[in-house]
Amino acid sequence: MTTSLRFASLSFATLIGCVGADPAVERDDVADGEHTSTVPIAIPGTSADFRVIQTSAHTFVLHGYANAVLVDVGGELALIDTLAPGHISPTDLPNLQATVAFLASTGKVSSSKVRYIVNTHWHPDHVGNTGALRAADTEVIAGRGGIVRMSTPQHIAYFHAELPEWPAAWWPSREVASNLTVRDMLQISYAPYSHTTTDLVIRMPKEKVVVVGDLIIGGANAFTDHDNGGSMRGLLLSLENILGTLPADHLVIPGHYEVMTKAEARAWGDAVRAGLRYVDAKLAAGASLAEIQAAAALPPEQGGAPAATQGLAGDVITLPAFVEFTYRDLTERDVKALIASRVLARLKTVDTLAMVAAITASTLGGEAAAGTEYDTLAFEVGELEAVGNTLTAGAKAAMAVYDRHVATAREQGRTDLTAAEYQAMLLELARL
Ligand SMILES: [Zn+2]
């Protein structure tokens, strides 16, 4: 989410910002494993549109342009996301600094030292104050690809955002491509091909919360940054993985807007899934993107998108935009190759066996194997190369075999491999 979200966020936050204006609100100590009320803590010196909510004994949600989560890990702090840079939101940094200072000085957290910064993903409204907040020994943890995304110019098509190479002080010092536990409190796991392809999810069982970044934009529709590895089906799969094992009493902290109960998060996911099924059915009936967008806006009883999906549409992620993200995911990516890519993305080293398995799983049957199956897997191979993951010589040779067969088919205007071509490809792969 970038610039245009500001307006929606500000007006919403301004409306409810007054709730916590009474500095006389006294708070009881919060026991481990308990959730607190949603009354904001009044932080002196912060702007009226900024709110801080304590969700559990050691966890505080900071609602600025986006959400940040401050966790007392015992003598030091972890900060999940650092809100937006000054050119998007000039108040985020001073609000953040005032919050850390106030919570430390009042003993609500045990230190003012930010020892860990975790990026839920690389979008600037989530990483914009890392440079100002990091000390020499601060570990900055991102999902695989976070360093490349911040150290080279990037483009977010939906927001027409041309992003520069950010200062080195923003860059992560460490990337996670599988799982990482910090201080026995933060269980960090990588969720590729979801909102972007750098998403991290942070579970905190002792605090009974999970931080999901922009996998959920509560109160708005799902946004998948398709050109940067976002995928509507991937996002729903990741969400299912998270919520499927989450105890019912845990809270879900999204990348923007209000903290949710597990049930609310589930309902949100169901509304997005209903929208995906709607677009998928229209597509199967031969409708074009423009036709689906027009149909979706009709009242549900007249063939429009499900009411729950329509209910998520807003100024920032409009219904036509949601339809487009979903349409592109369904038409430009193949689900078998998407799942294979999610597996590859979590490997440190991709060897012959892994690449052959990924190609075989993606192309099962040979039909359309030179179409979206290839494009989806080729995107992941490009990603592996860009982030410097090891592709062994055998893995590269396997992809070269696939490249060659696809090139032959495409030269003849086909997206299918013939049965003979497909058998020949499998035989070549088996010999590697
Ligand atoms: Zn984002």
Chain segment 71-105, per-residue pLDDT in tens: 999 999 999 999 999 999 999 999 999 999 999 99
Question: Mean pLDDT score of the chain, rounded to an integer?
Answer: 91
Give me the mean pLDDT over the 13-36 stretch: 44
Q: Which of 219, 212, 209 is nearest to 261 (CA)?
A: 209
Structural contact between residues 221 and 317, judged by C-beta atoms closer than 8 angstroms: yes
Dihedral sign for Cα atoms in the order 235, 89, 387, 385: positive
Give the CA distances from residue 175 to residues 62, 66, 71, 118, 399, in Å, rounded to whole numbers and listed in that order: 24, 22, 20, 10, 25
Amino acid at 102: F
Dihedral sign for Cα atoms in the order 333, 219, 180, 241: negative
How many Cβ atoms sit within 10 Å of the Cβ of residue 107?
8
What is the model's pLDDT at position 55? Answer: 95
What is the model's pLDDT at position 9? Answer: 37
CA of 420 to the centre of ligand 1 (A): 44
Strand order in the sheet with 186-190: 179-182, 186-190, 200-204, 209-217, 251-256, 260-261
How many Cβ atoms sit within 10 Å of the Cβ of residue 33?
12
Output the six-digit token pair for 240.
């299912």
CA of 2 to the centre of ligand 1 (A): 7
What is the model's pLDDT at position 376? Answer: 97
Instruction: Enter the DSSP assignment of 408.
Output: H
What is the model's pLDDT at position 315? Answer: 86
* Residue 90 CA from chain centroid, whole number: 24
What is the model's pLDDT at position 219? Answer: 83
Q: Indicate the pLDDT class of residue 35, thresholds 50, 70 and 90.
A: confident
Lookup result for tokens 């900024």: 50
User: What is the C-alpha to C-alpha distance for residues 46 and 51, in angstroms, rounded to an integer?
Assistant: 9
Q: Which residues surround ligand 1, an ion (CB under 5 A)?
A: 1, 123, 214
Output the six-digit token pair for 358.
């990924």
User: What is the C-alpha to C-alpha distance for residues 89 and 10, in angstroms, rounded to an integer?
Assistant: 10
Counting residues of the chain whose pLDDT is more than 70, the rounded percentage is 92
How many Cβ atoms sit within 10 Å of the Cβ of residue 21?
10
Give me the mean pLDDT over the 8-31 stretch: 36
Give me the mean pLDDT over the 352-371 stretch: 95
What is the model's pLDDT at position 406? Answer: 97
CA of 375 to the centre of ligand 1 (A): 24
Q: Indicate the pLDDT class of residue 36, thresholds 50, 70 and 90.
A: low
CA of 394 to the centre of ligand 1 (A): 35
| Cα R_g (the chain), whole angstroms | 23
Structural contact between residues 81 and 49, judged by C-beta atoms closer than 8 angstroms: no
Q: What is the pLDDT of residues 177-234, one digit of tens each?
A: 999 999 999 999 999 999 999 999 999 999 999 999 999 998 899 999 999 999 999 9
Q: Indicate the pLDDT class of residue 10, thresholds 50, 70 and 90.
A: very low
Among 4-13, 26-35, 219-228, 383-392, the minimum mean pLDDT is found in 4-13
34 has pLDDT over 90:
no
CA of 18 to the centre of ligand 1 (A): 27
CA of 123 to the centre of ligand 1 (A): 5
Element housing 214 (H / E):
strand 209-217
CA of 195 to the centre of ligand 1 (A): 7
Cβ-proximal residues to 207 (8 Å cutoff; 6+ apart), any chain: 55, 56, 57, 58, 59, 71, 185
156 burial via Cβ count (<10 Å: 0-12, 13-18, 19+):
buried
53 has pLDDT over 60:
yes
What is the model's pLDDT at position 30? Answer: 67
pTM: 0.90
395 has pLDDT over 90:
yes
- Note the maximum CA span of the chain: 78
* Residue 412 CA from chain centroid, whole number: 38
User: What is the C-alpha to C-alpha distance for residues 84 and 61, in angstroms, rounded to an integer?
Assistant: 15
CA of 198 to the centre of ligand 1 (A): 10
User: What is the C-alpha to C-alpha distance for residues 281 and 201, in angstroms, rounded to an integer?
Assistant: 31
Lookup result for tokens 């032959």: 408
Between these two residues, 394 and 30, which has the higher pLDDT value?
Answer: 394
Q: Which of 177, 217, 174, 175 is nearest to 195 (CA)?
A: 217
